[in-house]
Structure 1
Amino acid sequence: MNPIDQSLLDILLDRMPMAIAVFDRQMRLQRWNPTWAGFVERYTPSRLTDVVAGASLYDLAPGIEESVAPALRQVLDGRILRQDALRLESSGIVSYWDLVVAPLTDGEEVVGIVEVNIDATERVLAYQTLEERVEERTRDAARRAEVAEGIRDILTILNSNRPLDDVLDHIVSDAKRLLAADGVGVYRLEVKDGLLLTQRSQGLEVDYVASMKIPVTGGVVGQTVLQGQPLVLPDIPAIIPNALEQMPDPGQQELLKNLTSSYSSLLAVPLLIKDELYGGMVFYYTESRSFSEEDVGLALALADQAALAIENARLIDQAEEMAVAAERSRLARELHDAVTQTLFSASLLAEVLPQLWEKDAAEGRRRVEELRQLTRGALAEMRTLLLELRPTALVEAELPDLLRQLSEATRGAAGVPVRLKVKGRPSEPLPPDVQIALYRIAQEALNNVSRHSHASEAFLDLSYSAGELRLSVTDDGDGFDPSQVGPERLGLGIMEERAQAIGAEFELGSEPGKGTEIAVVWSAGEAGRSQGMTGVRER
């Protein structure tokens, strides 16, 4: 090679942006360009001054021999090596390379190798960072979806009629899973005693749950409750001395020691019900860990769900108490309006009966019969009211006995004689819902007789025939035009709904001046129910 060509080759080699190096068969450096030397200084413990002719590749870059030696032996056998993003690590320094390594020959003999490298470290690390971010965001999306599903499950449970303890157990279980906790406790504040008691938990010591009473002025939960703010403790053992000072009971001290020896970190959040401090919710972890704002936010959201469950239980209890009080008031009014008035009438009649008997024995006997009807009616009304206090009696008694009681109560309350007629008997006991519905329909119809019909008498008929039951209430009162009376009046809509609920047919027949008949036809066969024997039929 003439001097000019050599000079051009040297210039080209030195200014190449790629790293180029030539080695002999023993991997001793023969020639290199400044780019290759710079890479050696950046990615190995060697210095620029170490890059000299004769230096071993494995001395310049210690630690890479195991990664590259097998491939370089193939190049010395005459093969060309091409590889992208080859990972090399020298003394803890990691780098990535796109490279081509080719054999140098003298005639047919391979006398060395030439390698051409491009630094791919930044590109590979950037791609890895991107992959990590995508993976992280995928995990975040999956976790958010899991959290959303968990919250939906909790809302479903909240909308059910399950007991509070069952709802709280479900919330605690979901909270433990969603925040990957090893233990979760819900604590209730006893304001009078200034103590926090374990209400529900998972993953905590059974003895601790049963026996521990935490002073609200001491301990992690107490601090959270008093401040009304979340509290993060990455190092539980650090709080033991102060907490033990607040617990003079040696047994409770031992329980606390056992508990804290099992956990290394915790997250505590307050339980607030309409801005009122109720207690706290604590998440326990066996390993030390940090908590993100998202973790704290999720813990607060789960605590809100627990607080909502507790508030719902309170409202249900209040509603039940109000319903019981309202029912008692209603029964008291009915007792006063019906039974008391009947007994008052009977009392007046009993007072004048001796004088009537002396003047007219026949009239006296008629009045005795009237007195008997009044007292029987009062007794029947009392029994009817007792049924309201013990609804199970509606299915324990037979339907004819219940209807007889209703007819006597109507006669006693309104003075309208009700003639009961029962034909046949069912082959099997009526289903409870059917018997209750028929009783209520008869009760509502007889209420209409006594209050609105101005009837002189009424008829209550119950008949069984070939698996079919027919119940009718007929009176000789004023009657009305069904097309002019809406279902909301006279309890017609309620009676129809009760009939529909048991798959029965509801019949209504009435004309002004000709009385009214209300009937229900129910079939015990599957065909009647499947065909939906519902609706109003005017006769």
Structure 2
Amino acid sequence: MMGAAGSPEAEWWELAPVGLARVDTTGRVTQINQAGATLLDLDGDALATLDGLFDVDEAPHDAAGLEAERLASWPVARSESRELAYRVHGYRHGYVVSFRDVTMRRQQERRAAAVARTAARVASERSLATTLNAMASEVLRANGLAGVQILATEQPEGPLHVIGSAGFPPSDSFFALLMECQRRGATLGMLDALRTGRPVVIHHRYEAVMADPAWEPLHELLRSPRWDAFASVPILVRERAVGILNVFFAPEQKVDHGMMEFLATMADQAALAIDYAELLERERYVARRAERQRLARDLHDSVVQQVFSMGMQTQALKVLAERSPGPQAESFAAVAAELEEITQSTLQDLRSLVNQLQPSPVTEKGLGAALQTLAENTRRRTGIDVGLAVSDAADELRTHLLEDVYFIVAEAVHNAVKHSGAGSIRVDIDGGGTAALEVSVRDDGSGCPPGPPDTAPGRSSGHGLASMRERAEQWGGQLSVDWEQAAGTTVRARFPLPANSLDKEN
């Protein structure tokens, strides 16, 4: 591997500060200096393994007339490679190749490009899922990782779930399965990152996870591609944890300071994307609220008043029918009675709709007080006993979520009053000691038989039930209606609580 000892050529060859290799016209490496052997971690006489590493075909030249640098990749471990920049120089019956290690520089370039592309997406994309998926792919490609996940919420204070992912197959159930692992006793490093606001790194995590029965629900999802170390970096918006960047390192991959700085930078980019999405959602909420208020005013000032006038005209028609002689009077009275029933029902529905379109009392009173007012008004207007039990923990949740809970309860109570013939209604809301807010509205009436296939069983109209379900599902929740002829109807809704309300001690 060395030149002739003591010759000027040998001295130049060994003292060169860069790697040098002699390559014949076929691309076979015939000699390498000590600097080059050290750079490539060559043991003994391993020149044959270098054949084909350097391309000696003619290369383009730069503006100064020098041959442009070319790049080659040399594997030094199963999941790592060394990137080389080299130039080819003609020499006797072959070539001399000078090369240097640019792995770090190239890594920094890829990371800088990933940050720049991600920043551009944050500024241009209006879809949080699209932005975070692209961001996960950038993090994966820039570092040769096994997998990347970005867990966040699509609604402020909503349920945490995987929005961006790369490397692993996509799964809508990942966070639910993760919570099942926690219930089985699994230790979740990401919750420590959420709680402390500081990154968590766990080495040799793969084998421990796969050997632990508590992690069994996620074994299939996390089995491939193979990984080793794990890092969880909190995503912070104004010092509030809104998500987590989870990184799964390839086997033998190093978790160094430069890597963690890059991940922290990408977590900051994710925070910008999430904050931007929350800002857009707040703007949409304000716009929707203003539009609902306008519709409520228009309905009250026009349609409600017109239906009220129809009711007054119906009353007059009943009086005229009662005073009219002859055999037609009875028919007139029956039609008038039917019209009166229709107008009263329509007026009740319209007033209920106007109340729902107006800002909910939750904003000023809190959920418990707002529902207490609803219960008292219902008792006073209908004589139906409305029982209420609201967990103190419920009022600590975000107002936007509680407004949807209030309107679901109000719709269920309205339907019970209108359709069930109930003597009592029971409202229970429990948000303490579980990972979900549980809502139940139960009456003791007769309800009505299951509706057609396009509406779920129960007494709610198709639009009313669809609205209730939509309000629940936008928070990752579920709504069901159980009807029993002898036991009344129960409307149930379940809302997953925000991630920061989970038990962080596990």
- The answer to whether TM tops 0.5 is no
Give the TM-score, by structure 1 length: 0.34
Higher RCO, Cα 8 Å, sep 6+:
2
Give the TM-score, by structure 2 length: 0.36
> As a proportion of its length, which structure holds more helix?
1
For the pair shown, the structure with the greater C-alpha radius of gyration is 1
